[in-house]
């Protein structure tokens, strides 16, 4: 299966799933954008891509909840984007800090 975002550089959903499987299941999943942390609260899938919905006010998903939403075979080749403060940004990686998985 190919999609319009398949450029060889994008992080695919399956790549993210495999990476996050090695971390604590109760860690919170956040998006790190400049000096802000946004909680990942849900996903939206359309146009052969996964979009992470974020919030400044909600607590956010734990890693096990996030993986449960992502782990659908039909999503595996889709690139992952996050909802930034102004527009959607493509996800390229993450780091771990303060018992949180910080995507960016």
User: Strand locations in 1-104, DSSP E?
Assistant: 28-33, 36-46, 49-55, 80-83, 88-90, 94-97, 100-103
Beta-carbon contacts of residue 79 (< 8 Å; ≥ 6 apart): 3, 5, 6, 10, 11, 12, 13, 49, 50, 90, 91
pTM for the predicted model, two decimal places: 0.86
What are the tens digits of pLDDT across the range 57-70?
Answer: 989 999 999 999 99
DSSP state of 16: H
How would residue 100 be classed by pLDDT, with cut points 50, 70 and 90? very high
Q: What is the pLDDT of residue 75?
A: 97
* Greater model confidence, 17 or 11: 17
Q: What is the pLDDT of residue 5?
A: 53
How would residue 2 be classed by pLDDT, with cut points 50, 70 and 90? very low
């Amino acid at each position: 299966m190919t999609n319009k975002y398949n450029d060889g550089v994008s992080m695919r959903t399956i790549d993210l799933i495999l990476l996050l499987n090695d971390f604590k299941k109760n860690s919170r999943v956040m998006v790190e954008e400049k000096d802000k942390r946004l909680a990942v609260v849900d996903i939206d899938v359309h146009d052969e891509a996964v979009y992470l919905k974020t919030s400044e006010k909600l607590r956010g998903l734990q890693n096990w909840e996030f993986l449960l939403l992502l782990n659908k075979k039909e999503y595996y080749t889709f690139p992952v984007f996050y909802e930034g403060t102004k527009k959607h940004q493509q996800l390229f990686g993450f780091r771990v800090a303060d018992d949180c998985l910080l995507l960016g």
